[in-house]
Amino acid sequence: MSRQLFLLPASGPQAMRHYEASMAKPLDIEVCRQYLEPNLLETLIMETGGEFYAWGATPGGTGESYWKQLRFGDYVLVYQKGHYTRLMMIIGKTRNPKLAHFLWGSQAGQTWEYIYFLADLETINIPASELTDFFPEVVSGFMRPAPDKLRRIIDLYGSIPGFIDERIRGYEPGPDVPVRNGESGRSAGPNVHVGLQEVCQAFAEALKNSHLFFGATEEEHLSKVRSFVASAATKPFVILTGLSGSGKTQIAMRFGEWLGRENHVAVIPVRPDWTGPEALFGYEDALSKAGNGRRAWSVPLALEFMLKAASDPSRPYLLLLDEMNLAHVERYFADVLSGMESDYPCLPNVFHNGTHWVMHETERYIRVPRNLIIAGTVNVDETTYMFSPKVLDRANTIEFRVKSQDLRTDAERPTPCAPADEKLARAFLNVLSDDRWHLDNPAPAGYLNFVAENLRSIHGLLAVAGFEFGHRVFYEALRFASVLYACGDEKPESAVDLQVMQKLLPRLHGSRRRLEGTLLALARYCFNGEKTDVADPSDFDPQQVKVEDARFPRSFAKLTRMLQILSANQFVSFTE
């Protein structure tokens, strides 16, 4: 996991008063119950056993800017009067003016409402002069070391705790160093050292306990789970397509339940009359007055759920858009797609003032939460719409099929999933919210080189007919490969096969005249790795070879079906 390191100065008179209020001793849990959402408080208690601390920043300054960059698991070094005194870890954050006012009061009408919560890892006493090779000796404001300094720490010591351990040898806590519970040294701290392989195995077992089983064998079931988990962790937008009743809605619902409980998943049925972003984002209601000359905001369930996720960044949330293509996706979903891609604020930042929902006067829009997964189910008939490449490029599209041997006589109606162990949910969220995770935790070089070289070859085949992909698809495919490897699939052929199936083939649709040569060339390549510019139907017939002999069997089987449909109907798309 790629973590950041922040410095927290607490030396001035005001900072020391704040320190005494919320850092010298753990926060009072009963007080927190009055001001915090139950889910967030539960997380803080679970992570620390009930002993956690808080610091905050006022709106509009650099502190707010850095607050937005904080992630669960980031490290914090506390600086006091020329010494670094504590190593702590971020375990949650919230924007909460009421709690801030209770803890620290206010100044010039502002309070330190951008609050983050910390767990103690280690009590230390390192003179700042001993760390001038990494940090400035005089610390002012809430600042973060330059990335090259952090990389140097990791290169030399392996981790932030390793760096601290090395530097505190020979130093003992002094009389002015605050010590928790009369002890010095290490505390237990949060435990996030669980891998994606354990996440996949546990979720696969939870699905079986909920009477859901994908495939005829344990390996097929686990393979589908790996594909889904790796896709969601690679980028939190997943499209699920396939037969009605094949389990695509169920796997998404159960994953949301498993990650957080029922209130961490929302199922939103898409309506054919969704023609703009108001269906997800709501709108300012010109007929309702909220006071002070402000209009009330009409808040749909989707926006309320996304704002809930934004207020609880230490937990994953899943929004399921059911029958996503009953309306034009590009019309109602464009703002979300743009916001997820650019990380630009697009979500209306509204709050309930006791009678109405109203928009904040200063920060009117916020970013799409990094802990939010969006899944969309797709069926294809005369009432639905095709997806554009703009949508498909930004998602992994997972197809659900049902083979004859998959039909079980002992099948039962699916039931809700029991919540996962907190460490498993946290392990998944750490990957989901970290854009650098695949760079800091790459698959072996040979594995990634195999994936990259095959994708380049396929790019050349697609370019002949103008279906080539761009940098984003290549980048996300390599990220997917490292995530899939961490999920337990160590065959690079699987990563190529799944990315061809989930990222490249969904973009292909058109007439026989335009597509047949490209599909045949792709089928030949997926079968034996042979690259040709144009495939002659008489030169290679996918019907005459066995799917199980193919180099990339999932993609080859799909291409074979697409070619059959193309021959029969003179037109084909990925969604059958």
| Rounded Cα gap, residues 395 and 11, in angstroms | 47
Percentage above 90 pLDDT, the chain? 49
> For residue 439, is pLDDT > 80?
yes
Helix, strand, coil % over all residues of the chain, rounded to 5: 45, 20, 35
Return the closest-CA partner of residue 386 out of 325, 344, 334, 439: 325
Q: Is there a single domain that holds both residue 269 and residue 133?
A: no
- Residue 504 has what DSSP assignment? I
Q: 3-class SS at 532?
A: coil
- Say what the pLDDT of residue 171 is: 42
Domain residues for the domain of 365 are 196-422
List Cα–Cα distances, 387 to 65, 249, 272, 273, in angstroms: 36, 18, 15, 17
Residue with the larger pLDDT of the pair 30 and 172? 30
Q: Is there a single domain that holds both residue 444 and residue 368?
A: no
- Say what the pLDDT of residue 410 is: 82
| Rounded Cα gap, residues 43 and 255, in angstroms | 19
Taking the model in full, what pTM does it have? 0.72
* Tokens matching residue 294: 């402000």
Q: Is there a single domain that holds both residue 329 and residue 224?
A: yes
Which of 422, 449, 479 terminates a domain? The answer is 422
Q: What average pLDDT does the chain have?
A: 85
Q: Is there a single domain that holds both residue 219 and residue 347?
A: yes
Neighbours of 124 (CB within 10 A): 22
Q: Is there a single domain that holds both residue 451 and residue 412?
A: no
* Tokens matching residue 512: 């026989």
Q: Is 279 exposed, middle or buried (0-12, 13-18, 19+ CB in 10 A)?
A: buried
- Residues 468-513 pLDDT 10s: 999 999 999 999 999 999 999 999 999 999 999 999 999 998 899 9
Q: Is there a single domain that holds both residue 159 and residue 105?
A: yes
Which of 398, 422, 446 terminates a domain? The answer is 422
What's the mean pLDDT in 423-433? 89
- Residues 54-74 pLDDT 10s: 999 998 877 888 888 888 888
Q: Is 521 exposed, middle or buried (0-12, 13-18, 19+ CB in 10 A)?
A: buried
42-57 in b/e form (b: 16+ CB < 10 A) is ebbeebbeebbbbbbb
pLDDT band at 444 (very low <50, low <70, confident <90, very high): very high
Give Cα 161 distance to the centre of its chain: 25
- Residues 356-382 pLDDT 10s: 888 887 778 989 998 999 999 998 776
- 206-220, 234-248, 312-326, 384-398: the lowest-pLDDT one: 384-398
- Residues 249-277 pLDDT 10s: 999 999 999 988 768 899 999 999 999 99
Q: Kindly state the greatest CA–CA separation across the chain.
A: 86
pLDDT band at 399 (very low <50, low <70, confident <90, very high): very high
The full length of the chain comes to: 576
pLDDT band at 37 (very low <50, low <70, confident <90, very high): confident
What's the mean pLDDT in 91-100? 92
Q: Which residue has the tokens 């010039």?
A: 108
pLDDT band at 139 (very low <50, low <70, confident <90, very high): low
Q: Is there a single domain that holds both residue 417 and residue 454?
A: no
The answer as to whether 191 is a domain residue is no
Instruction: Count how many domains the chain has.
Output: 3
Q: Is there a single domain that holds both residue 148 and residue 277?
A: no
> For residue 193, is pLDDT > 50?
no
The domain that holds 239 is classified in CATH as: 3.40.50.300
Which of 154, 186, 218 terminates a domain? The answer is 186
